[in-house]
Amino acid sequence: MIAPMFNSHKYNKPARNGLITALDIGTTKIVCFVARPTGTTAEIIGIGHRISKGVRSGNIIDMDAIEACVLAAVEDAEQLAEENVRDVVLCISGGAPQSRLISFDVAIAGHEIGDADLRRALDPAWLYARQSDDRRILHTLPVGYTINGSPGVRDPRRMFGEKLGVKMHIVTADASQLRNVESCIGRCRLDIEANVAAPYASGLSCLVEDEKEMGVICIDMGGGTTGISVFVDGEVIHTVSVPLGGTHVTNDIRRGLSTPLAHAERMKSLLGSVIPSASDDQEIIKVPLVGEEGLDENEISRAILVGIIRPRLEEIFEMTRAKIEEAGIDAEVGRRVVLTGGASQLNGVSQLASEILNRQVRLGRPAHFKGLADSTNGPAFSTSAGLIQFALNERAEQSVTSFRAMEVPKNRMDRVGQWLREHI
């Protein structure tokens, strides 16, 4: 793994009780996980989720409605955990995340590279100073180092050179949307431990280490947006989102068949598919019409439903392919795609993604945490589990950094003692 980031993006102190609370404010649902760290993993001790109201395409449109949903989900999780929570690791699914890679060098005058040099190289203060008012930095993630121009360095500490080079992955989001989400969290009397881009969290949850090393695209098909994260050599190098998701498929069905929203969602989940079959023309579906519930129902063939669903999924994957090509990283990504998110469970989605993206595709589930119920261990909860993993990673890095900082005075005293023994 790349050397520690030394909190090169905003990460506040962990909660005083040591618990990790993940809060995912999505377009279709609000999810709250409360976890107790147990070494390198965590046990989920509280789960709360509610239908989301007041969010469209990942962005808040009704503050009062979403505040009520967040409070209800957090209260449910608190009751199961039998703990009160204050600090949350917050998922940022809206705000049109943008991603870019930058490279720069710092002079180190030929001495041995230590933690202080890394802190100086990774200090993002100058990035914040240059950031425009309409965007805010979410993450500054080192993805590689060079020493005197030689690439491929994973951890430059204890090496020597004249110049230390850093390649940094910068993730930004719309500042006004972030302020809206943070205002909602504040009104719920919660503090933010960290903001995490949704595509990044999903990748942390669903990908195995071999995939991240070889190169992989993680596509999180949510309700209002589809998040894309790209991992190469074990590090995330690109994150972006497409403003389309499962709710757009549901709305297509609702409009195309003039049926109530709830029934459109039910048809999509139980009968929907993106791959036509020979029997679709013979399979008849009864569809209640808007304003005529309880009266005569319309009848359609399943082929018509498939014909409504497939074009929207094709559009999502074609936009995903265009985003990857636009970033100029298509050649280095590899042949692997992992689909996750609630909309990825639609019948035939993996096959369609493989056809359009021309890559191997598998369905990803969140990493197993003890205490995670079967109902919340599917692709729809990948982002929430990824927030827990993000917090575990950050706390582990903080512990390592603190331990190394404690070692420095001890080593200095050892050297002083050795000099005194030799010269007195």
For residue 183, the one-letter residue type is S
Tell me, what's the pLDDT at 112? 85
For residues 267 and 265, give the distance between their C-alpha atoms in angstroms, rounded to a whole number.
Answer: 6
Q: Give tens-digit pLDDT for 113-152.
A: 888 888 877 776 666 666 677 888 899 888 889 888 888 7
The reply to whether 168 falls in a domain is yes
Question: Is residue 119 in some structural domain?
Answer: yes
Classify residue 273: in a domain, yes or no: no
Give pLDDT tens digits for 360-418.
999 999 877 888 877 788 899 999 999 999 999 888 877 655 444 444 444 544 544 44
Tens of pLDDT, residue by residue over 58-73, are 889 999 999 999 999 9
Mean pLDDT for the stretch of residues 291-320: 89
Residue 424 has pLDDT above 90, yes or no: no
- The mean pLDDT value of the chain amounts to 86
- Give me the residues paired with residue 106 across strands: 164
Q: What's the pLDDT band for 1 if we cut at 50, 70, 90?
A: low
At 6 the pLDDT is 47
Residue 134 identity (one-letter amino acid): D
pTM, whole model, 2 decimals? 0.86
Residue 274 has pLDDT above 70, yes or no: yes
pLDDT at 252 > cutoff 60? yes
Decide if 152 is inside a domain. yes
Is the pLDDT higher at 404 or at 162? 162
Residue 390 lies in a domain: no
Instruction: Kindly list the distances between the CA atom of residue 291 and the CA atoms of 197, 259, 285, 357, in Å, as whole numbers in the listed order.
Output: 40, 9, 18, 41
DSSP string, 218-233: EEEE-SS-EEEEEEET
Classify residue 300 by its DSSP letter.
Answer: E
Domain count, the chain: 1
Residue 227: predicted pLDDT: 95
Residue 276 belongs to some domain of the structure: no
Unique residue bearing structure tokens 């965590």 = 42
Q: Is residue 272 part of a domain?
A: no
How far apart are alpha carbons 194 and 46 in whole angstroms?
Answer: 19
* pLDDT surpassing 90 at residue 18: no
Q: What is the pLDDT of residues 39-60, one digit of tens each?
A: 888 999 999 999 999 998 888 9
Percent of the chain with pLDDT over 70: 87
Q: Decide if 47 is inside a domain.
A: no
pLDDT 10s digits, 209-236: 999 999 999 999 999 999 999 999 899 9
In this predicted model, which residue has the larger pLDDT, 414 or 263?
A: 263
Phi, psi (rounded to 5 degrees) for 160: -120, 150
Which residue range is the domain that position 156 belongs to?
Answer: 98-174
Please report, for the chain, how many H helices and E strands are present, in that order.
Answer: 12, 18
CATH number at residue 121: 3.30.1490.110
For 311-334, how does the pLDDT look when each residue is reduced to its tens digit (9 = 90+)? 999 999 999 999 999 988 887 788
Check whether 275 has a pLDDT greater than 70. yes
Coil vs helix vs strand at 43? strand
